[in-house]
């Protein structure tokens, strides 16, 4: 699963991305080979989007979901806004769950 974290600037999201990668590395169920993480500013979303399976949106740009939806929806790429408290705690495990659940729900909804 290729996960794109989208934020305003990128620094704190890079830290969260590293925490998510550590969760995968330390997991007995998940394999590092199955995941790719990147973090970019929202301004670069349209150029980068086609290389990803899901977009996770930092809470600081949660107000841009309309714009993000316009980019993701036609490409059938799900997106979710990360809870501000989860983001503030840099909780990589909870954000990984959000990514996996959002992706699975989207796949189920759009299957067949």
Helix, strand, coil shares, percent, the chain, to 5? 60, 15, 20
Known active-site residue 72: no
Polymer length in residues for the chain: 112
- Using CA atoms, how far apart are residues 56 and 89, in angstroms rounded to an integer? 16
Q: Which of 5, 7, 55, 99 is catalytic?
A: 7
Close Cβ partners of 6 (under 8 Å, ≥ 6 residues apart): 13, 39, 40, 41, 42, 45, 55, 56, 57, 58, 61, 68, 79
Active site residues: 7
């Amino acid at each position: 699963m290729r996960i794109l974290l989208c934020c305003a600037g990128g620094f704190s999201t890079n830290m969260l991305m590293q925490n998510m990668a550590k969760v995968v590395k330390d997991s007995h169920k998940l394999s590092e080979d199955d995941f790719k993480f990147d973090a970019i500013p929202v301004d670069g979303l349209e150029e980068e989007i086609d290389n990803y399976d899901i977009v996770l949106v930092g809470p600081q740009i949660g107000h841009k979901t309309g714009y993000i939806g316009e980019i993701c929806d036609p490409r059938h790429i799900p997106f979710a806004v990360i809870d501000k408290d989860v983001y503030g705690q840099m909780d990589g495990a909870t954000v990984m769950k959000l990514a996996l659940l959002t992706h699975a729900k989207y796949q189920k909804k759009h299957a067949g």
